[in-house]
Amino acid sequence: MHLVAIGGSDAGISAALRARELDPSVDVTVVVADAYPNFSICGIPYYFSGEVAPWQSLAHRTHADLEATGMNLRLNTFATSIDVAGQQLAVRDETGQLSNIAYDELIVGTGALPSYAGIMGLDELTPEDGVHVIHSMGDTFALERFLTERGPKTAIIIGAGYVGLEMAEGFTARGIRVTQLQRGPEVLSTLDPELGALVHSELTDHGVEVHTDTVVHGVEKSDSGLTVHAERGGIRVTHSAEVILAVVGVRPNTTLLADAGATLGPAGAVSVDAQMRTGLPHVFAAGDGVATHHRLLGLTYLPLGTTAHKQGRVAGENALGGQAQFAGSVGTQVVKVFDLVASRTGLRHDEAAAAGFTPLTTQAIADDHKRYYPGAQPISIRITGDAGSGQLLGAQLVGRLGTETAKRVDTYATALFAGLTVEQVSDLDLSYTPPLGSPWDAVQVATQAWSRAAAAR
Amino acid sequence: MHLVAIGGSDAGISAALRARELDPSVDVTVVVADAYPNFSICGIPYYFSGEVAPWQSLAHRTHADLEATGMNLRLNTFATSIDVAGQQLAVRDETGQLSNIAYDELIVGTGALPSYAGIMGLDELTPEDGVHVIHSMGDTFALERFLTERGPKTAIIIGAGYVGLEMAEGFTARGIRVTQLQRGPEVLSTLDPELGALVHSELTDHGVEVHTDTVVHGVEKSDSGLTVHAERGGIRVTHSAEVILAVVGVRPNTTLLADAGATLGPAGAVSVDAQMRTGLPHVFAAGDGVATHHRLLGLTYLPLGTTAHKQGRVAGENALGGQAQFAGSVGTQVVKVFDLVASRTGLRHDEAAAAGFTPLTTQAIADDHKRYYPGAQPISIRITGDAGSGQLLGAQLVGRLGTETAKRVDTYATALFAGLTVEQVSDLDLSYTPPLGSPWDAVQVATQAWSRAAAAR
């Protein structure tokens, strides 16, 4: 039995680890396009901020750790095509040498690629020009080299999603003045603008110049530096800086599977069932390249590291004949932006309406712990529930670092997973001690506010 | 419609607040035995530590706040008997004057009383002698006066439960040397001893002298001070100090309802149904005086402030003709002890076995966030699940302050509430960002360890 996994990031490595854990007699090969298997891509912003050093510590596991599990790593090896009928994977090594790897079962975890969102010039200008993405360790080294060698004092970050915000903090920590350009009406568009506004303030409080409603059309290099051409409120604007970082989202990297005949689904991601089967015989897929089973939305595209880990594990088990199921995402996400923590799970109001629910959304503010105990801080919480059934549909939280906001969202995530109503969240038996909570936890102050609004409708 | 609530603590006030919220036309009277309605008894240790001042800030709501809701407060008024048939409550005011209060609906929230656990002398020696309990604001003032006027340098705390541990910290913060005596084999007996041992170390690291397996027989006052007589490993021992605090648990305060003919249940607490009805017509009861509906154990006795709030709210709603149900406790508790946070929810191994489950308990250690990001700290987590059905039965966590341990227990509490299996907890979509979590959260590292052990059985 020879199991081949493609991809050195979360899905591929998780699959390989699970297979080796379940059956140490299985021969497992992991084909990795670069030399950096099992690196924590989510940690890259903290390398730039200087909080993580050296870069090697970003590895979830070292090369030696991985080999100790008995898996074989084929580094710097690019998978070029799959012969599904012949059960052969064609690969190209770093010297350009082509070869085939025979497999009994194949798991594809090729992940996603940076999106350029139609911005002119992004695909022509290079790191050498000062135009960067950070999607791989190679990108990371290129940006670090640029920052070290050229010492830019100003940066433009195109995009204000998770990575864009983390990089705004990272650049600021290095003394680089950041201009952040965001297409939508507020930063962190995965939150409702009412809460995104709190994140916006945190950015400006730390010296980041934020421009929302700014649609970037193109990036240009001239003798005087780098210029971003954009439109804001129907007016053409330009911004200049010494370095540009484009973090405007990702698109599923599906070429390999699409060429092999796999079906594509939402956002062009590869369709898989809950067992991570692609429909092609003996070919599984997992991670940022595949469509995501969402417990509230059905099949969607929502690439997340946590999901990739879970899907990879399922694929690894099933490639060995198992019947594991990916239980589904509820879209739980959290980001730290300077001293603020912003998190969400489930659906925002508009998403819920689009999915056919009758959403009601309310916002509450509650202290993280009893006000009489020193250090209490407010957490802003938005609850979305279905006005008809009372089902909890989503929650968004913004609180300061230290308010346990990151793990409070998990209470809602668990309730969503279990299909609880908003009222049932108010009934939960949550922990309380004055330095760390309240008899009605902030989580429940928010759901009670929702219930009052629902009753008043 | 005249609703009378007895008790100025969590249950009585919650009932009154809920009734006034639902129907501002209802006449609500709250009979309070002392002059301190709606004080946070859980906050008292932080008054002694000096973190909370003045004592007035311990009020969840001020007297004025409460009156602004439209409820009438009868302070310093002791309820002496209930005429169930005549719907009259007999009370005695602070001058000794007796009177009757007619009610349409009555909610009894008389709470609990300190237990002396059969320790000789505890009921004879008084605060003046240096022997204290802290169950009310009156007790609090008496102890504070003693500490201020006598300036004791040494204290014995009998008991090492939640309040005992918090007071060990409070006394230590004031420069008082604490000797803590615990009957059982380890402190904080609501946790398994493996985790209690971590709390024990935290105490000794902060200079608290801890003696476990120490059964206190009596307390004695002599010219030389206060002496505790105890037995440890079959050997008689004595400990002396200038002040003694007895925190050996509570017993339900049921005299009023028992005299009125109510049925008593587990631990002698008043039996109530899930609507908080006592069975006596027009008489509800809630809080530390009543038996607790537990989602895993059925009817038990587990007095907690969070539960009292919920039960009081249910009683207040139902006294107005509602049909609210107390959804049940899962026994979620958390305590901060110096820089450590210890929490639990559900059942410990022995409790699960006694309740007829086939428990399997495993222990894991997982970092609160990615190790490469500064400040990662291990959380020790014990998972109890049913080896047959896989149902999650309980979780216990100990981690340092700042590891979001208090709100991580809530994920398990929510899973318990929803009846999830241990495997399903591993499937939950929990939040992750490197500074605050891991792709598999610590919560799930622990459940995966349980699943591996279950599979290996």
Query: Tokens representing B53?
Result: 């001042």
**Residues on chain A touching B41 (C-beta within 8 angstroms):** none
In terms of CA atoms, which chain A residue is nearest residue B330?
Answer: A429
Nearest to A404 among B306, B406, B441 (CB): B406
CA of B279 vs chain A CAs: smallest distance (Å): 23
What is chain A's mean pLDDT, rounded? 97
Confidence of residue A223 (pLDDT cuts 50, 70, 90): confident
Give residues with Cβ within 8 angstroms of A8, minimum separation 6. Answer: A30, A32, A33, A34, A36, A37, A38, A39, A73, A75
Are B414 and A409 an interchain contact pair (Cβ–Cβ within 8 Å)? Answer: no
A2-112+250-319 and A127-246: identical CATH topology: yes
Q: According to the CATH classification, is domain B2-112+251-319 in 1.10.132.10?
A: no
Are B429 and A417 an interchain contact pair (Cβ–Cβ within 8 Å)? Answer: yes
CA of A417 vs chain B CAs: smallest distance (Å): 7
CA distance B156 to A136: 59
CA of A394 vs chain B CAs: smallest distance (Å): 13
In terms of CA atoms, which chain A residue is nearest residue B403?
Answer: A404
**Residues on chain A touching B436 (C-beta within 8 angstroms):** 334, 336, 341, 406-407
CA distance A160 to A249: 10
Give residues with Cβ within 8 angstroms of B440, minimum separation 6. Answer: A306, A309, B426, B448
Give residues with Cβ within 8 angstroms of B249, minimum separation 6. Answer: B114, B115, B117, B159, B161
pLDDT at B224: 81
Query: Tokens representing B106?
Result: 């009555």
Are B407 and A402 an interchain contact pair (Cβ–Cβ within 8 Å)? Answer: no
Report which DSSP code applies to B264: B
> pLDDT for A424-450, tens place per residue?
999 999 999 999 999 999 999 999 999
> pLDDT for A163-192, tens place per residue?
999 999 999 999 999 999 999 999 999 999
pLDDT at B34: 96
**Residues on chain B touching A374 (C-beta within 8 angstroms):** 51
pLDDT at A116: 87
**Which of A414, A426, A447 should we substitute to test contact with B (largest number of B Cβ atoms within 10 Å)?**
A414
**Residues on chain B touching A333 (C-beta within 8 angstroms):** 431
Confidence of residue A353 (pLDDT cuts 50, 70, 90): very high
User: What is the arithmetic mean of pLDDT over A59-77?
Assistant: 96
**Residues on chain A touching B306 (C-beta within 8 angstroms):** 429-432, 439-440
**Residues on chain B touching A332 (C-beta within 8 angstroms):** 429-431
Nearest to A433 among B42, B51, B431 (CB): B42
Are A414 and B418 an interchain contact pair (Cβ–Cβ within 8 Å)? Answer: yes
Q: Select from A230, A281, A244 the least CA-distant residue to A260.
A: A281
Question: Taking the CB of residue B65, how many other CB atoms lie within 10 A of it?
Answer: 12
Three-class DSSP labels, B304-330: CHHHHHHHHHHHHHHHCCCCCCCCCEC
CA distance A457 to B237: 67
User: What is the arithmetic mean of pLDDT over A362-378?
Assistant: 98
Burial of B281 (0-12, 13-18, 19+ CB in 10 A): exposed
User: What is the arithmetic mean of pLDDT over A400-413?
Assistant: 97
Nearest to B52 among A330, A373, A404 (CB): A373
Are B370 and A40 an interchain contact pair (Cβ–Cβ within 8 Å)? Answer: yes
Residue A118 confidence (pLDDT) above 90: no
Are A431 and B334 an interchain contact pair (Cβ–Cβ within 8 Å)? Answer: yes
CA distance A271 to A300: 10
**Residues on chain B touching A407 (C-beta within 8 angstroms):** 404, 407-408, 410-411, 431, 436-437
Residue A224 confidence (pLDDT) above 90: no
Are A436 and B336 an interchain contact pair (Cβ–Cβ within 8 Å)? Answer: yes
For B230, the 3-state DSSP assignment is strand
> Kind and range of the H or E element at B14?
helix B10-22
Are A439 and B305 an interchain contact pair (Cβ–Cβ within 8 Å)? Answer: yes
In CATH terms, the fold of domain B127-246 is: FAD/NAD(P)-binding domain (3.50.50)
Are B370 and A328 an interchain contact pair (Cβ–Cβ within 8 Å)? Answer: no
In terms of CA atoms, which chain B residue is nearest residue A294?
Answer: B429
**Which of A292, A433, A440, A444 should we substitute to test contact with B (largest number of B Cβ atoms within 10 Å)?**
A433
Are A312 and A18 in contact by the 8 Å Cβ rule? The answer is yes
pLDDT at B323: 97
CA of A247 vs chain B CAs: smallest distance (Å): 17
Are A408 and B407 an interchain contact pair (Cβ–Cβ within 8 Å)? Answer: yes
Are A411 and B414 an interchain contact pair (Cβ–Cβ within 8 Å)? Answer: yes
**Residues on chain B touching A435 (C-beta within 8 angstroms):** 46, 336
The CATH classification number of A2-112+250-319 equals 3.50.50.60
Q: Is the peptide bond before A374 cis (omega within 30 degrees of 0)?
A: no
CA of A332 vs chain B CAs: smallest distance (Å): 5
Are A406 and B436 an interchain contact pair (Cβ–Cβ within 8 Å)? Answer: yes
**Which of B372, B400, B401 should we substitute to test contact with A (largest number of A Cβ atoms within 10 Å)?**
B372
**Residues on chain A touching B424 (C-beta within 8 angstroms):** 327, 417
**Which of A429, A445, A447, A448 should we substitute to test contact with B (largest number of B Cβ atoms within 10 Å)?**
A429
Start-to-end Cα distance in chain A: 61
Nearest to A407 among B40, B408, B415 (CB): B408
Nearest to B431 among A333, A415, A419 (CB): A333
For chain A, what are the domain ranges? Answer: 2-112+250-319, 127-246, 340-456
In terms of CA atoms, which chain B residue is nearest residue A375?
Answer: B51
**ipTM reported for the complex, 2 dp:** 0.97
Interface contacts (A, B; CB < 8 Å): 212
Are B409 and A424 an interchain contact pair (Cβ–Cβ within 8 Å)? Answer: no
CA distance B120 to B101: 39
CA of B210 vs chain A CAs: smallest distance (Å): 23
Start-to-end Cα distance in chain B: 61
Structurally, at CATH architecture level, domain B340-456 sits in 2-Layer Sandwich (3.30)
CA of A305 vs chain B CAs: smallest distance (Å): 7
**Residues on chain A touching B406 (C-beta within 8 angstroms):** 404, 431, 433, 436-437
**Residues on chain B touching A419 (C-beta within 8 angstroms):** 418
CA of A56 vs chain B CAs: smallest distance (Å): 9
Q: How far is CA B318 from CA A207, A208, A428, B3, B314, in A?
A: 54, 53, 19, 11, 6
Are A432 and B310 an interchain contact pair (Cβ–Cβ within 8 Å)? Answer: no
CA distance A68 to A61: 10
CA of B23 vs chain A CAs: smallest distance (Å): 13
10-residue mean pLDDT series, chain B (457 residues): 97 98 97 96 96 96 96 98 98 97 98 91 94 95 97 98 98 98 97 97 98 97 92 96 96 98 97 98 98 97 97 98 98 98 97 97 98 97 98 98 97 98 98 98 98 95
Query: Tokens representing B97?
Result: 């004057």
